[in-house]
Structures are given as C-alpha cells and as structure tokens.
Chain A
Amino acid sequence: MSYKFDWSVLWSGESGGWLLQGLATTLELSVLAWVLAAALGIVSGAMRTVPWRLLRGLATFYVEFFRNVPLLVWMFFWYFGVPPLLPEAVREWLFDHGLPFWAGMFALGVYHGARMSEVIRSGIQSIPRTQFEASLAMGLTTFQAYRVVIIPIALRLIVPPATSESLNLLKNSSVALTISVAELTFQTRQIETYTAKAIEAFTAGTLIYLVLCVGIAIVMTRVERRFAIPGLIARGG
C-alpha cells in the first residue's frame, strides 16, 4: 500500500502552465524586491559608515528594526497594516490592482534591504581606512569618495555573501503565499489540490528552486571574476 507515484500530473492538464505562471510570478517578485533591497542596502550600508552620527543612527534603526522582525510578520504588516493608513481612494485602487503582490514585494525588499545593508557595511569596513583618506586628500568630497571609490570596491568584495543573500531572498519569496500571492510554492500547492499528488508537486517546486538558485550562483561567480580588480584580492582557484 505504498504511495504510487504519477509524475505525469506535472505536465498533464493545466499543471505545466501553473508551474510556469508561478515561476514567472516568483521571478517578478524576487527581481523587483531584489532591486529595492539592493538600493536600500547600499544606501543604508554606506550610511552606517559615514562620519555623521544622525545618518548612522537612522541607518542603524532601519537595519535593526526590519532585520529583527520575522518576514512573515512583515508580509502581514504590508498587506493588512499599511492599507488602513492610506487615503480611501488610494486604498481602493490598490485593492483592485494586485495589492498582495505589491505588499509582498515591499515586505521582501525592505526586509532583505536591512540584511543586505549589513553585508555592504562589512564590505565597506574591510576596505583600509587609508583608501578613504587618500580619496579626500585627492580633493573628493565624502559623497564623491563613496560614490567613485568606496562603494565600487565594496560591491566587488561582497559578491559571495550578497549572492547568498540574494538566494535567500528568492527562496523567501515563497512566504508571500500567506498573503495570497500566486507564486511558485502556491502553484505547487494548487497542483496538489487538483491532483492530490503532493509529493510530485512539491518535488517539482523543489527542483525549480534548486535550478534557479544554482543558476544564479553560477552567474554570480562569473560576475565576480569579470569585475575583479587585478591584484586587489588574493583568490584561490
């Protein structure tokens, strides 16, 4: 009486289309959230290292507040908590235009922005202070020093941890199903509903995440090589 596998449920009927739709939504959600996370991360990560206390305080507050609350809670916050604060017209418009997706995108982006911020800060702080001082001595302002020297170098240093963080973001996008975003995990559950073949559906989901993540990791390795500054970092392999 062991479980009978029937892998054909994955491509028969509408299942294949659902998986593709789910994959598309997952990618859309993750890419937009990643852009937001990267922008927030770079700005707040840099702010945490600047010589002005107020900016440092602001960035620290952002990081600690958003990083230390579970992502699931943020999903509910953006979906349930934010709309009542908006004017009625805006709220109704959002309700009719995919609020779950945007709430999920902000939850994911702002949460991972806080985590990305720490990665970027560690990158910046691993650059010898003399680089910054040399930039100022060349006549650059602090802003210019960050823009043309510090951040470009830091971004090269943090490719490995940033890749990890990006993969986390992609996988965490599945939490958005709690606020009814029809992403990949949601669709695997949908297939389970229609076919009652849970193990097949979840395996398909697992493999798609795996392939996506390994693919991103491979691309990021290439990026790391391509943009490396010769002689700056000792590397193996």
Chain B
Amino acid sequence: MKRLLTLVLAFALGLAAAAPAHAEGTLDKINQSGVLVIGTRTASPPFAYVNKSNEWVGFTIDLVEQGVLPSLSKKLGKPIKLEKKESTPPTRIPLLTSNAVDLIAGTMTDTRARRDSVDFSITFFVTGAQFLVKRTSPIKGIESIANRRVAAQQGSTNAKIIRERVPTAKLQEFPDQPAAFQALTQGQVDAYTNDGIQLYGLRAKAPKPDDWKVVGDFFSYEPYGMAMRKNDSEFRAAVNNGLMELIESGKYLELYDKWFGPKSETPYPLTPENRRFLIMQVVPK
C-alpha cells in the first residue's frame, strides 16, 4: 500500500511539473509551420459559429482572416494559413499555455485577473451583460432577478457578477449556450444572462425570434480582446497592427456592417461612443 501511495504521489508531482516549455516565440512557431492556429467558438453567433451550410464563420474569424493573417504574412514575408480549433471558456487558457493554439479569437472578455495568465490584443468589440427572457416575462433587468432562476454560461464574468450582486438569484451555470437556451425554452430557468450581443445572436437564431426579448441595462462591461501567450510582444504587436489596420482602413466598419448592420441577422448598432473608443485605440504609424 505504501508503494501505491508513492506511485500516486509521483504521478501527481509529474503532472504538476509538466509545465509547458516555450523555447521559441509564437512568430517563430508560425514561421516554421506556416500556420496560425486559433481557438474559437462553434456556437456564439455572430462572432464565431457553424452556420447552416456547415461553414465555420463569424465576425471574429473575419477579423483574423482579414486583419491578423495579412499582418503576420507581411511580418514573416510569406503566406500564412489559418487553422481553427474549438475552444470554450474553461479550455481556452490551457489551450494557449499548452501551445495547442496561438491565439484565442472568440468572445473572450479582457479582465485584469486573466491578464495574470495571458496577454490581450486591443479591444475589438464592446458589450455588456443583459438578460434573454420570454416576451411575456416580468423580468426587466438585474434589479428584478432576486429569487428567480437564472441561467448563465459557465466560466463567464456575468455569473460572477450576479453571484456577488444578487446572491438570492438561483443561478444555474451551463457549459454551453444551447443547453442554457433549452433550459430557458422549457422553463427550467426564467432568464438567461450573457453578453448582450450574444443574446441578440441567440435570439436571431431561435426558431421564433419574436417569442424572446433582450432586457436590462448592461450590468457589466465586457471588452472583447484576442488572447495570446504572455510576454510575447513581437507576436502581440503583429496581431495589434493587423487589428489597427482594419479599423484605420475602414474595413472594420464594413465587417461590422456585414455582421451587425441593419440587414444582418443580428442588428446591433455601433454607438458613437464605441466607435470613437475603437478609433482611439489605433496609435499612429
């Protein structure tokens, strides 16, 4: 029995010691393989999702393809291909630190706690948490969810805020959006909270969008950024340059219009404030 325990302990220590080693920077890695590997979502329309014709598309993916990739190609002097892998809130940081992906490009909120583990690009989208409820629901926002059953996405900042601000709300956290929405549809929960834009996306994809409404003022601030391994400033600069180029050239607005414009499936007007905020992040050449 003693020997067994020693073995168990040795295994555990081995696990702990298996810190991923990064001998080289991400740019070198991409230069060698010719491929940028991103971790992104499969069910977060319109940022990254698999559409009806089974293509993996979205606003964030477009930003990578039309901004980050050209910037990397320019920097490395050769065409770079894109490879997409699925990442979810609990897996995205481990995927990055284990070198499985080079960039998380989905719907990840930039937070100070996360900056202890990863670095972020400039902010490419700003939203805040709201609630999706049935059209007839009396819920109007975070002020009316006390003692209500509320679904949230596991590993999201929204759940954290609700737990702190409305401890009497009965929070049910689901690993993915479809399960949470199913629970809302069947009445297991009274409301589903997520970043406002994602709720609009979900509503647009619902069989009967008119049965649902998005309510409440933003009760959180969610600036989306692309995450990468820490302390790799060369790579980070290349990613940021690509994004700034997109904003500066006006291409960002075209893409915004494509995914969030009045004719898109998820109309979400860019407020003058947010527009100004995006533009002011672009530093001079």
Query: B8 and A214: CB pair below 8 A?
Result: yes
In the complex, B206 has a CB within 8 A of chain A: no
Query: B116 and A196: CB pair below 8 A?
Result: yes
Total number of A-B contacts with CB less than 8 angstroms? 103
Query: A3 and B154: CB pair below 8 A?
Result: no
In the complex, A207 has a CB within 8 A of chain B: yes
Query: B15 and A206: CB pair below 8 A?
Result: yes
User: Which B2-50 residues have a C-beta within 8 angstroms of A?
Assistant: 4-5, 8, 12, 15-16, 19-22, 25
In the complex, B283 has a CB within 8 A of chain A: no
User: Which A1-38 residues have a C-beta within 8 angstroms of B?
Assistant: 1-6
Query: A179 and B94: CB pair below 8 A?
Result: no
Interface of A is mostly: helix
In the complex, B179 has a CB within 8 A of chain A: yes
- Chain A residues with CB under 8 Å of B93's CB are 192, 196, 198
- Chain A residues with CB under 8 Å of B1's CB are 218
Query: B175 and A178: CB pair below 8 A?
Result: yes
Interface of B is mostly: mixed
Give the docked Cα–Cα distance between A91 and B172 (Å): 17
C-beta contact mask, B181-221 vs A, less than 8 Å → 1, else 0?
A: 01100111000000000000000000000000000000000
Question: A100-B172, A193-B89, A195-B113 are known contacts. Are A202 and B21 too (CB-CB below 8 A)?
Answer: no
Query: B15 and A99: CB pair below 8 A?
Result: no
Within the complex, what minimum Cβ distance (angstroms) separates B207 from chain A?
16
6 A–B pairs (Cβ distance < 8 Å), ordered by A: A2-B21, A3-B20, A79-B183, A99-B188, A197-B117, A214-B4
**A interface with B by C-beta (< 8 Å):** 1-6, 76, 79-80, 83-84, 91, 95-96, 99-100, 177-180, 182, 186, 189-190, 192-199, 202-203, 206-207, 210, 214, 218
**B interface with A by C-beta (< 8 Å):** 1, 4-5, 8, 12, 15-16, 19-22, 25, 89-90, 93-94, 97, 111, 113-114, 116-118, 149, 151, 154-157, 159-160, 170, 172-175, 179, 182-183, 186-188, 229-232
